[in-house]
Amino acid sequence: MKWLNRLGSIALAMFALNAIKNFLSKNTIVVFEKIDEEDEDYEDDGPTNIVNLKPENYDHSMDLRGTPTHICPCGCEIFNVKVIFDNFEIATYFLDMECSNCGSLATAPTPIDTKGEF
């Protein structure tokens, strides 16, 4: 009788492993970290202040100047550009710009760069 219990336990374990294997092959498990809002380290100040919209360091920055672009290879679409205003509008801007996420240098696009797409 003892061997029958052990055999039954082994069969049940094999069945459970097979069920887990089937579940994992058909589903993806995604793990999210729960943010505890009462945690002292958690700060929600709302949107990022424009003053802080700059790279923390330039370890991953590149010099991509040459080809006008709208997006940095890091995926960021926000650039720091120096502009000149006239009559409440942007009158001109420098072509060298810096990605506000990674600090890579890039060339700002101009209307001439559209190749007649307008």
Q: Which residue of 69, 79, 98, 102 would you call a contact of Zn ion, by CB under 5 A? A: 102
The stretch near Zn ion (CB under 5 A) out of 26-34, 44-52, 79-87, 91-99 is 91-99
**What one-character DSSP code corresponds to residue 41?**
T
> Rounded CA gap, 76 and 61, in Å?
12
**Is residue 97 a contact point for Zn ion (CB under 5 A)?**
no
Tokens of 73: 């290879």
Q: Which stretch binds Zn ion (CB under 5 A): 2-10, 23-31, 34-42, 67-75?
A: 67-75
Other Cβ atoms closer than 10 A to 74: 14
Measured from the CB atom, is 72 or 108 closer to Zn ion?
Answer: 72
Q: How many residues of this chain bind Zn ion (CB under 5 A)?
A: 7
- Alpha helices (runs of H) in the chain, residue ranges in sequence order: 2-26
Structure tokens at 9: 């336990």
The contact set with Zn ion (CB under 5 A) reads 72, 74, 76, 99, 101-102, 104
